[in-house]
């Protein structure tokens, strides 16, 4: 019975079906099955889609659709892990979001999906995120890395403000900061004190691994 629910979950990811993903995860929890195994099933599906995207066999909408399905199911997985007192294993914990004043999501979502496929635990907190919300999310999730995106030149300074907010909160030394987006350059990343920058989504995965010492 469990295998059938896991297969439904895998199908939900590869078919980009948010409703099926939520239903399958709820069934896993209700039947007392292992949420970590459910997470691994989803991660393997995302990894396969990421690999095929890298080979040019799938396209950006495929990556975004799969990511959306997985993210729709993750709150249920997280809640069940909390109830069981179990922690996810992985390469590290990442909080990702697009800065305040910027509602562009595609690049951020692509990076978050590829990071999940690589084995990171990723909390995508969305778009139009203020420095205060970034700080709260880093604290809440005990993030190893904060990944910020800014597509527009006028919103790029929000990345600097967030780094300042991390310092003021006394947690800057506890978290690595990655920045990206079409408005960002290596020179800008260096000027605001970010720990890393890469202009392309696959490069962000390698960067995250380096920051984690992997």
Specify whether 98 is located in the same domain as 204: yes
Specify whether 67 is located in the same domain as 119: no
pLDDT at res. 214: 63
With residue 147 as reference, give the H or E element that holds it: strand 145-149
Asked whether the predicted pLDDT for residue 87 surpasses 80, the reply is: no
CATH number (domain holding residue 103): 3.40.50.280
Parallel, antiparallel, or unpaired: how do β-strands 121-124 and 93-98 relate?
Answer: parallel
Asked whether the predicted pLDDT for residue 1 surpasses 50, the reply is: no
| Cα–Cα distances in angstroms (integers) from residue 208 to residues 19, 68, 190, in the given order | 31, 21, 16
pTM over cut 0.95 = no
Q: Give the total number of structural domains in the chain.
A: 2
Domain's final residue, options 84, 115, 134: 84
* Residue 169 pLDDT class (50, 70, 90 cuts): very high
Which of 86-90, 119-123, 182-186 has the weakest average pLDDT?
A: 86-90
User: b/e map of 30-49 (b: 16 or more CB within 10 Å)?
Assistant: eeebebbebbebbbebbbbb
The candidate with the shortest Cα–Cα distance to 106, out of 52, 59, 60, is: 60
Specify whether 104 is located in the same domain as 181: yes
SS3 (DSSP) at 162: helix
Domain's final residue, options 84, 108, 130: 84
Which residues constitute the domain of residue 26? 2-84
SS3 (DSSP) at 195: coil
- Alpha-carbon span 136 to 166, nearest angstrom: 10
Specify whether 107 is located in the same domain as 194: yes
Could you report the per-residue pLDDT of 22-42, keeping only the tens digit for each? 999 999 999 999 998 998 899
Task: Work out the percent of the chain whose per-residue pLDDT is above 70.
Answer: 98
Could you report the per-residue pLDDT of 179-192, keeping only the tens digit for each? 999 999 999 999 99
Domain's final residue, options 60, 84, 108: 84
Specify whether 46 is located in the same domain as 100: no
């Amino acid at each position: 019975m469990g295998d059938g629910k896991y297969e439904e979950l895998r199908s939900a990811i590869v078919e980009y079906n948010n409703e099926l993903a939520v239903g399958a995860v709820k069934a896993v929890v209700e039947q007392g099955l292992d949420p970590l195994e459910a997470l691994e099933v989803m991660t393997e599906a995302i990894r396969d889609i990421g690999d095929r995207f890298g080979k040019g066999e799938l396209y950006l909408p495929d990556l975004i659709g799969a990511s959306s399905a997985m993210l729709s199911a993750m709150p249920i997985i997280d809640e069940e892990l909390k109830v069981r007192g179990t922690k996810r294993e992985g390469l590290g914990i990442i909080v990702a979001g697009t800065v305040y004043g910027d509602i562009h999501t595609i690049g951020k979502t692509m990076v978050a999906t590829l990071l999940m496929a690589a084995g990171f635990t990723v909390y995508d907190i969305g778009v139009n995120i203020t420095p205060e919300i970034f700080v709260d999310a880093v604290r809440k999730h005990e993030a190893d890395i904060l990944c910020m995106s800014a597509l527009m030149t006028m919103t790029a300074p929000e990345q600097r403000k967030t780094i300042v907010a991390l310092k003021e909160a006394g947690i800057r030394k506890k978290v690595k900061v990655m920045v990206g987006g079409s408005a960002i350059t290596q020179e800008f990343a260096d000027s605001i004190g970010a720990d890393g920058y890469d202009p392309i989504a696959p490069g962000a995965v390698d960067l995250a691994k380096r920051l984690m010492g992997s």
